[in-house]
Structure 1
């Protein structure tokens, strides 16, 4: 910290916390909050108007100086980035323009540097109400903020990558929600109130991956609008039979669990396009897997599988990606399944350009070759 002859500092250094980083910024005590945001833009790729700076629990006002805001040398400031304003120096998108308008930002005399700018920004709660998007990923949260329940028409709630343990029943008050992202938290069976989640009849995407769940309740079948269910990296040992009621389900990702059997009712999920059961304890799949006529991608690596349902290749006529790496299923077994030739032709046709350098003109099937290819 540099000082003037009179004893006051000429520069101070503040530490801005953002996305797990601590960004040191040196500036004058007479610099404004707006000046600080300008320094942060190239370092964070967040436009100044998309930055909310919080110091000692209070939001810093753009027109105030570091001194008047009582920001001292060594102070720690938290930066929260507004959804849709991560454009850095690039053009502002339509979504960002809409957000800007909703904030009612009033700027006077843009081209005259000597005249001050007046900025009136909406509160975080108001912004959530206008956009319907509550984006609080990676905010070091331990509980769900109470302000969320007052938002009304929330379409998206993203509180992933935090340390949240409890999901209260009042989450059911978000009747209009379509996408609920709860992945990468500390949620266990005892701390999640399923009656709240299963009452969300408009929910299309539910992500609970990377938590500590050992069971899914039968009530999951009530989410009849669900299109994507992400439950990987938990401690699940089984799936409820009621999962077969999810007739709109297109993507089911349940890898890295302890699932030893799949309910035959899964064959009723006729809309399924992608299924991932890799890294579980499966030794067989139900015969009803052949009912999944729209299935295109099936990941089964790292299981104890010895056989596939005999109708899989014949009935799942769209299947073109199959990962059997580290299972006991051999090429001899695959060749004996009716419809193998047609499946192999689809697989080769889909991945010809991407896999030419790996498979060449070989007639062999690499059970793990399709693992990371796009759908």
Structure 2
């Protein structure tokens, strides 16, 4: 006699999707739609569903039909063709080799500057409270930094090759701004206990690295006002992001995020959120609690709708980027509060024209008109 799970097993089929040189195995319900299959392929290919064309036995599959109706059976092979320009979630931007510039007059070669210990520099750090060491070919935070810890308010070691953020980062107890972007940092490269002990930190940039996750301890940075983690390999944000109740700017574009915690709504000071170029299908209703939100960037996602109360509750929202999503203008007009939002975005657009920032008279929120 068949076991209790036999019917469930019979409802699933295994197929192979051919995409460029890849063969992607998929287990999916036989009654799932072609659109459902495309959504499943999104995180595996970084191709938006609208940019996917699925072909089986020479036929282009229709989105609203089930796999069963489309004649796809267990063991079938389906071809995927991706449309150019509809990729997203590209991940980190890797550093290029240092440029070599040859002077026309001297033929001298100017290379990326290198850090050398300098007593006068440490005195300047103490006087200005700023350590600026971007683009210095560093592989570690220099030892000269640590004796200056009681004075440092800003530390910028971006665009180097820092391999490790050590435990002793916790000695920078007065640090307010930390830039670590563009170092190729991995999850294990960072001493998170040390970093998240910086209670006065207001600005943290970890963009253009190779991070797969952010720890729950991120929520300990309760003074944080700006968090930049764009161009990494993140698939989600920790639930504890809701503890960042001073956060005003959140930039997590160009990752692989498919899930946003609902308690992001606790971050009520948020003014700007950039979630563009990720794997999002929807936003949590928690976004409706962001009453101070002015700019929301969602381009290059698999979005088909917005929380219905977003426009009605987010009464400051005037910038909404929806390019390369499946949200249409008709969908937007059906949302509560659309009329008031429309007035705000038109007023902002007119102001930009008045200041000669924009020349185009048409503004479509990036939504499809069909």
- Superposition TM-score, scaled by structure 1 size: 0.66
| Contact 2:269–2:290, Cα closer than 8 Å, also in 1 | yes
| Contact 2:318–2:341, Cα closer than 8 Å, also in 1 | yes
Distance 1:206 1:74, change over 3 A: closer
Distance 1:75 1:353, change over 3 A: closer
- After TM superposition, the structure 1 = structure 2 runs for residues 9-20 of structure 1, keeping only pairs within 5 Å, are 20=99
After TM superposition, give the deviation of residue 359 of structure 1 in Å.
2.8
- After TM superposition, the structure 1 = structure 2 runs for residues 79-90 of structure 1, keeping only pairs within 5 Å, are none
| Contact 2:99–2:112, Cα closer than 8 Å, also in 1 | no
After TM superposition, give the deviation of residue 276 of structure 1 in Å.
0.3
1:358 corresponds to = 360
Higher relative contact order (CA 8 A, sep 6+): 2
For residue 123 of structure 1, the aligned residue among 120, 124, 132 is: 120
**Radius of gyration: which is bigger?**
1
SS at match of 2:231: coil
2:312 corresponds to = 314
After TM superposition, give the deviation of residue 164 of structure 1 in Å.
1.0
Gaps of 5+ in 1: 1-18, 28-72, 82-120, 370-375
For residue 147 of structure 1, the aligned residue among 144, 149, 153 is: 144
Gaps of 5+ in 2: 1-97
Runs of 4+ off more than 4 Å? 19-27, 73-81
Q: Distance in 2 between matches of 1:251 and 1:291?
A: 15
1:287 aligns with 2:278: no
Distance 1:330 1:79, change over 3 A: closer
Q: Distance in 1 between matches of 2:132 and 2:302?
A: 40
Distance 1:149 1:283, change over 3 A: same
Q: Distance in 1 between matches of 2:342 and 2:185?
A: 41
After TM superposition, give the deviation of residue 261 of structure 1 in Å.
0.9
After TM superposition, give the deviation of residue 366 of structure 1 in Å.
3.6
For residue 137 of structure 1, the aligned residue among 127, 134, 137 is: 134
Distance 1:346 1:141, change over 3 A: same
SS at match of 1:275: strand
| Contact 2:302–2:325, Cα closer than 8 Å, also in 1 | yes
* Number of matched pairs: 265
Q: Considering only aligned residues, what root-mean-square deviation do their CA atoms show, in Å? A: 2.6
1:168 aligns with 2:166: yes
SS at match of 1:134: strand
- Superposition TM-score, scaled by structure 2 size: 0.67
1:325 corresponds to = 323
After TM superposition, give the deviation of residue 350 of structure 1 in Å.
0.5
SS at match of 2:131: strand
Distance 1:229 1:78, change over 3 A: closer
1:271 corresponds to = 269
1:190 corresponds to = 188
Q: Distance in 2 between matches of 1:273 and 1:241?
A: 20
SS at match of 2:360: helix
